[in-house]
Amino acid sequence: MNTEIKQEKIEAGEVLAGVLLCPFGEWPHGDKTQICDSKAFSQLVENWSAAGRPEILLDFEHASTVDRVDSDTRAAAWISNLQVTDEGLVGDLKFTDIGAEAVSNRRLRFLSPVWEFDADIRPTVLKSVGLTNRPNIQGKCILNKENIEPTKKENPHMDKIKAALGLAPETSDEEVAAKVAELKAANEALNKEKEEAECARKDAEAEAFAEEHKEIANKADIKAMYLANKEQTVKLFAGMKKPEAPKQQLLNKAEAKEPVLKNKATRESMAALPPSQRAAFYREHAAEIDG
Residue 79 CB-half CA count within 13 A: 25
Average pLDDT over residues 100-123: 89
Q: 3-state SS of 12-39? A: CCCEEEEEEEEECEEEEECCEEEEECHH
Q: How far apart are CA 47 and CA 40, in angstroms?
A: 11
pLDDT of residue 250: 53
Query: Sorting pLDDT into bands at 50, 70 and 90, what band is 84?
Result: very high
Contact 78, 84 (CB under 8 A): no
The residues spanned by each domain of the chain are 2-153, 161-238, 257-290
Average pLDDT over residues 146-174: 68
Name beta bridge partners: 111.
131
Q: How far apart are CA 62 and CA 84, in angstroms?
A: 23
pLDDT of residue 236: 86
Average pLDDT over residues 61-71: 78
Instruction: Judge residue 44's burial from the number of C-beta atoms within 10 Å of its C-beta, 0-12 exposed, 13-18 middle, 19 or more buried.
Output: buried
Bridging pattern class, strands 77-84 and 25-29: unpaired
- Summarised one tens digit per residue, pLDDT across range 112-155 is 898 998 988 899 999 999 898 888 886 554 443 333 334 444 56
Instruction: Judge residue 66's burial from the number of C-beta atoms within 10 Å of its C-beta, 0-12 exposed, 13-18 middle, 19 or more buried.
Output: exposed
Q: Which amino acid makes up residue 241?
A: K
Q: Is the pLDDT of residue 286 over 80?
A: no
Give the alpha-carbon dihedral of 115, 121, 124, 128, to 10 degrees. Answer: 10
Higher local confidence (pLDDT), 289 or 215: 215
